Amino acid sequence: MPEDLVITLIKLIAYVGPFFLIPAMFKFAGGAFANIAGMANNKSRGLFDRSKKYRAQKMGENWTATKAGEKKFRPQAFNKLGERMGVGASGRFGFGRQGRAAVQTQRRNLAAERAAKDEELKQLGLASDDGIAVMFGSGGTDAGARAASDDLYNSWLADDAEYRHAQDNGDQAGMRAREAHFRDRADQAYREAKAVGFTRSRAQAAGSIMMQNKARAIVGGAAGREFLQRGLERLHGDGMDNAAATEETRQAMAFFARGSGRADLGTPRDDLDDRQATIDGFDRAGASAVAHGHTTGVESTSRALVAEYQEAMDLGDETRAVEAASKLTALRNAMTQQTPEENKAIIFEALRDAGVTHMDSVDSEFGTMIGGLQGVPVPQPPAPLGPSYTEAEKQQHEYDTRVYQEALAAHPSQTMTRVIRGRAGLFDQGTGRPTDPALLAAQQQGQQQGQQQGPGAGP
């Protein structure tokens, strides 16, 4: 009897129980439907809106690439048409001089915009100095990249001391070894840049990235500037219509070069010879930026300044000699504890080549050498007094000392020294007070010590 009752209850629950679950099922189904509907319309997770967002993003990228003239697998005429559409009526659709200028401006703006988001290009700039140089020199094409890698190879070889030594000694094996080394390096740079992909906007942005990182792959002086010029021609062309774009890019790259201490690449002018171009870059960058910049820039700048000084001295040109000496003095004074030791060695060697023997008196030694151009004998101090002397001898010695000091102060060498100090930024030419903070602090400390000792105190 009890077993029959249990069985009956189980059957009853099986038949009737599901009816009590119907409200809960409706509640669950309603919640699930709300979640699915929310996902479908959620911009970050939704099935429909995610696809819509992706399509909008791709349309924006395609339009940007069309305006930049960089649509892949499209004829050149199609890309040219895209650029003209991009500038619109305000840019005369790219026609005429004004239209072409508008296209160049659009290219630069799009390059900057895309470079800011181009992580691959940024990584190339951080990982490979050679690769970023090839990217810039490519002008945005594979053929340009191969030409740029060849340009780098030739410049490295011409600048290599080991290769020149092997050449001078007829060492064919040594020459072939250096050629193979630089060929491998140039080919590797091409491969690294190719892995990122060549576009005009990337080439444009690579120039600034390279310069901000001291352009380590670019040799100093004229050869380095020649590489940059070829890269600019591949990027903008060498026609008159693109002159404004070329000049603007050159200005920007020169600005970043000066900021990174590459004064030898820091002039925006293209009408100067090698030496004057380097000195112009120095004037724009400042001695401190050069002294703490890349070793290649320090070496090129120091070499140019010494050559300028020596030529001026040979010609007896005081004005040019003072200018060059002032810059070398400023370079010496710009060195601090943070200056790389290799840079210090280069600057000291340059000063020695210029005839300076004591690195703590650079300005006065230059002043003496330049002052000697006038042929005025340098006054000599009177002979010191002996162990015993009369009062008359003492008075005569004091008189002779005053005459010597006055003659020395009036000698051209002292005048030149004062001018060099002023132009090098060490002393104010009007007041004679140090303008350099370290020199000013030392002078003030000496004055304070003298006041504490009193007027009659001895050493």
pLDDT at 7: 67
pLDDT at 147: 96
State the DSSP code for 293. S
Q: Take residue 98 and report the two structure tokens written for it.
A: 């004004």
- Which are the contacts of 42, defined by CB distance < 8 A and separation ≥ 6? 49
Summarize pLDDT for 176-234 with one digit per residue, the tens.
999 999 999 999 999 999 999 998 888 988 998 899 888 999 998 888 999 999 999 99
149: number of Cβ within 10 Å:
26
Tell me how far apart the alpha carbons of residues 77 and 87 are, in angstroms, rounded to a whole number: 16
- Which are the contacts of 419, defined by CB distance < 8 A and separation ≥ 6? 322, 326, 367, 429
- Is 174 in a helix, a strand, or coil? helix
Quickly count helices (H) and strands (E) in the chain.
Answer: 21, 0
Give me the residue label for tokens 């630069």: 108
Beta bridge partners of 434: 427
E-state strands within 245-387: none
Q: Take residue 281 and report the two structure tokens written for it.
A: 């870059």
Nearest-5° Cα angle at 105, 100 to 109: 150
CA 211 to mean position of chain CA atoms: 4
For 87-110, the DSSP string reads: HTGGGGGG-HHHHHHHHHHHHHHH
- Overall size of the chain counted in residues: 459
**Cα-based distances in Å from 370 to 227, 232, 304, 325, 373:** 37, 42, 18, 9, 6
Tell me how far apart the alpha carbons of residues 372 and 129 are, in angstroms, rounded to a whole number: 47
For the chain, list residues with pLDDT below 70: 1-116, 238-242, 375-376, 378, 408-412, 426-459
Summarize pLDDT for 395-424 with one digit per residue, the tens.
888 888 887 777 766 666 777 888 888 877
Tell me how far apart the alpha carbons of residues 365 and 89 are, in angstroms, rounded to a whole number: 66
Tell me how far apart the alpha carbons of residues 344 and 366 are, in angstroms, rounded to a whole number: 19
pLDDT at 68: 47
Q: Among 225, 234, 247, which residue's Cα sits nearest to residue 203?
A: 234
- Is 1 in a helix, a strand, or coil? coil
Beta bridge partners of 427: 434
pLDDT at 98: 61
Cβ contact 287:327 at 8 Å: yes
**Cα-based distances in Å from 322 to 239, 263, 313, 366, 395:** 41, 20, 10, 8, 39
List the chain domain ranges. Answer: 29-56, 91-261
pLDDT at 241: 53
Tell me how far apart the alpha carbons of residues 338 and 322 are, in angstroms, rounded to a whole number: 28
- Rg, the chain, Cα only: 37
pLDDT at 279: 92
